[in-house]
Amino acid sequence: MVKNRPIIGITPWFDYNENKMYINNVYCEAIILSGGLPVLLPIVEDDGLLSEMIEEFDGFLLSGGPDLDAAHWGEWNYKYNGEISPYRDKMELFIAKKAVAKDKPIFGICRGIQVLNVAIGGTLYQDIYSQNTDKELIKHSQTAPKWYPTHKVKLEEGSIVKRAHGAEIIAVNSFHHQAIREPAPEFIVTGRSEDGIIEAIEHRNCKFAVGVQWHPEHMWNKDSSFLNLFKSFVKSCL
> Is the distance from CB of 11 to CB of 61 less than 8 angstroms?
yes
Torsion angle defined by CA atoms of residues 148, 151, 155 and 159, in that order, rounded to the nearest 10 degrees: -40
Q: Is 217 a catalytic residue?
A: yes
**Which candidate in 92, 186, 202, 217 is catalytic?**
217
HSE-up (13 A, CA, CB side) for residue 132? 19
**Which candidate in 151, 176, 203, 215 is catalytic?**
215
Q: Which residues contact 16 (CB under 8 A, 6 or more apart)?
A: 85
Long-range contacts of 26-30 (CB under 8 A, 24+ apart): 26/217, 26/218, 26/220, 26/221, 27/61, 27/63, 27/109, 27/217, 30/216, 30/217, 30/220, 30/227, 30/230
* CA angle, residues 6, 12, 18, in degrees to nearest 5: 150
DSSP state of 226: G
d(CA 5, CA 170) in angstroms, rounded, equals 29
Identity of residue 166 = G
Identity of residue 225 = S
**Which candidate in 28, 92, 110, 202 is catalytic?**
110
> Is the distance from CB of 162 to CB of 123 less than 8 angstroms?
no
Backbone φ and ψ for 117, nearest 5 degrees, come out as -65, -45
Supply the residues annotated as catalytic.
110, 215, 217
